[in-house]
Structure 1
Amino acid sequence: MANKLALCGITALAIASGAAVQAQERSEQGKLSLGMGVAWVPSPYRAYDNKALPLPMASYEGQRFFLRGPSFGARLWNSSSSELAVALSPIGNRFQHKDSRDPQLKQLNNRDISAQIGLQWQTRGTWGRLALATQKEVTGHGGGHAFDANYSYAMPFGKAVVITPMVGVAYTSSALNDYYYGITAKEAQRSGLPEYRSGSSTAPYAGASAMIRLGSRWSAVGNIRYSRLADAIADSPMVRGSTTVGYSVALLYTF
C-alpha cells in the first residue's frame, strides 16, 4: 500500500474495502464475495466539490491469486502465517479543475487516477497482523514510488462481528507527490499561483474497519480512516488543511 491517505481520494477507498474484507481471508478461502457501497473521502484540495462516491468491492482468496477490494495480486510465497505477493492496485487521488470553485485552481491541469505495482509482505499471529509494501507508479503519472508499514489487530465480538483497528506510516516519493500537488512553471504563469515542487513525504495514519455477518451469505462492512498530511503536501498552494478523514459502508454477498 502507498501513502493512501496522504494521497486521499479513491486510494482511501481502496484501503477501506481491502481492510474490511481481509477479516474473511481464512474463513472464506476459495469463495468469491462481491458488493457495493458508498464512501465519503473529502479531498485535500482547497475549494473542491466533494462527492459521495460509489464503492464496488470484491474479495477472493485462492491458492495463489487474490482480490482484496480494488487490488489484484498473486502470492510468490505462502505459509500458514506469512505471505509474499506481487499486487496491482490503484492510486486513486484525482484532481479535476472543473470541480474546483477556486478561479486559480480552475487554470491547473487535471491529475488522473494512477496504478501501482509492487511487493507486499504480511505476517499474522495471535498478536495481530504486520504488513509491509513497496510499490511503484506505472501509468506515467510521475513514476514515483511508495512504502507502507502498518499493524492491525482483529477483535471478534461473538461470531457475527469483527472490528479491526489499524495504525501505520506511509512514505511517498517526491515524483509521485509532485504529480498530484506540484504546480509547474506553465501552470503558475497561467493561474497566478506560485510554482511549487513537492518533496517526499512520510505520514502516519490510523483507522478501524468492521465486518458484521448478516447471515450465511450477506455481510456489512465499514471503515473509518484518519491521516495527517505531511508538510510536502499540506504546504502546496493547491491544498487546504493538514488532515483527512474518510468513511465507507458497503454490503457483500458471498457466493
Structure 2
Amino acid sequence: MARKLMLCGVSVLTMASCFTAHAQDRSEQGKLSLGLGVAWSPSPYRSYDNKAWPLPVASYEGQRFFLRGPSFGARLWNSSSSELAVALSPIGNRFRHEDSRNSQLRQLKDRDLSAQLGLQWQTKGTWGRVALAAQKEVTGHGGGHVFDANYSYAMPFGSAVVITPMVGVAYTSSALNDYYYGVSRKEALRSGLPAYRSGSSSAPYAGASAFIKLGARWSAVGTFRYSRLADEISDSPMVHGDSTVGYSAALMYRF
C-alpha cells in the first residue's frame, strides 16, 4: 500500500505522511488501494457538537501522479531520494452554527470546508523524511496561504507494522484564519459577541501514524495529531481551548 483528516482539525497531513512513507516501498508502486475510514477531532469552537466524519481514502503511486489519502498530486521532478510536486488537498476546518449549543455562536455564518493547491517538496534518507509545502486556499474562503514543514521517521516492527512519528509547524495567513475564526461587525451586532479579526499564526504540532498489514491485500492505517493553537486563534470569541487533537483510522484493500 502506498501512503492532515485535520482535515485542519482532523489529521489530513498526518494521514498523507503515512501513505507517503509506505510509498517508499518500490514493490507497492503502481498499485491502487481503496478504503473507508473515520476521522474525529474535538472542535476548538465553543459549545460545539463533535461528530465523527466518514473518510473515503485512496492510495496510488504512479510514474507521475499520486493519491495519498485525501490528497491528489502530480510530480514535477523526482529522484531516488527527493520529490517536487503540485498537490490539491483539503482544509478540513468547518463551522456549522446549528451544531453549536451556544446561543451567540448560533447567530454566526457557517464556515465551510476548503481546498488548497500548491507545491510540496520532500526528501528522505536513512535519517527520516523532511517535507515542505506552500499552498493557497482556492475555494473562495478567505484566499489565504498555508506553509507547512515537518519531519517524520518510519520505524518498522517486523514485516507487518510500521509506526511513523512526526513533528512540524504550520503557518496560516491572516485571511484564512479570519475566515474560520473572525467575527465581522455585522455578526457582532447580531450575536452580541465582540468583533474580532484574526491575524496570521504559526502552530507547532506532533503526531504519529501506524500502518498494519493484515494480509496479502488488506491493511489498516491509524493516525493521531496534536496541534497547539496560536493566540491569534485561541483569542477568538468563537474558540474555547488552546489545542486540538485529531484521530483517524481506515481499512484499505489493495487491487
Superposition TM-score, scaled by structure 2 size: 0.95
Instruction: Tell me if the contact between 2:151 and 2:168 (Cα under 8 Å) persists in the aligned partners.
Output: yes
Q: Tell me the residue number matched to 1:92.
A: 92
Contact 2:165 2:208 in 1 (8 A): yes
Shift of 1:35: 0.6
2-structure distance, mates of 1:139, 1:52: 23
**Aligned-partner Cα distance in 1 for 2:199–2:49:** 26
2: CA distance, partners of 1:81 / 1:64? 15
Distance across 2 between alignment mates of 1:49 and 1:12: 15
Q: Which amino acid aligns with 1:12?
A: V
Q: Given the alignment, which residue of 20, 23, 26 partners 1:25? A: 23
User: Which secondary structure state, in structure 2, belongs to the residue aligned with residue 140 of structure 1?
Assistant: coil
Matching residue of 2:71 = 71
Residue pair 1:37, 1:250 contacting (<8 A) in 2 also: yes
Report the count of equivalent residues. 250
Give the Cα separation in 2 of the matches to 1:183 and 1:94: 15
Q: Alignment partner of 2:19: what SS? A: helix
In structure 2, do the counterparts of structure 1 residues 175 and 11 end up closer, same or farther at CA, with 3 Å as the change threshold?
Answer: same
Q: Percent identity?
A: 77
1:1-255 to 2 correspondence within 5 Å?
Answer: 8-9=6-7, 12-27=10-25, 28-255=28-255
Change (3 A) 1:88 1:232: same
In the aligned structure 2, how far is the partner of 1:123 from the partner of 1:12? Answer: 25
**Per-residue Cα deviation, 1:54-104 (whole angstroms, up to 9, x for no partner):** 111111000000001111100000000000000011111110000000000
- Give a deviation string over 1:114-140, Cα, whole Å, max 9, x none: 111000000000000000000001111
Q: CA deviation at 1:9?
A: 4.7
Q: Which has the higher contact order (CA 8 A, sep 6+)?
A: 1
Q: Residue 190 of structure 2: SS of its match in structure 1?
A: helix
Structural RMSD (CA): 1.3
SS in structure 2 at match of 1:36: strand
- When normalised by structure 1's length, the TM-score is 0.95
After superposition, the C-alpha distances for 1:138-196 in whole angstroms (9 at most, x for unaligned) are: 11111100100000000001100000000000100000000000000000000000000
Mark the CA change 1:138 to 1:58 in structure 2 (over 3 Å): closer, same or farther.
Answer: same
* C-alpha separation in 1, matches of 2:145 and 2:88: 13
SS in 2 for 1:47: coil
Which SS does the other structure have where 2:58 is aligned? strand
- Distance in 2 separating the partners of 1:34 and 1:66: 13
2: CA distance, partners of 1:162 / 1:177: 34
Greater shift, 34-43 or 128-137, is seen at 34-43
Contact 1:166–1:207 under 8 Å retained in 2: yes
| DSSP 3-state at the match of 1:106 | helix
Unaligned segments of structure 2, at least 5 residues: none
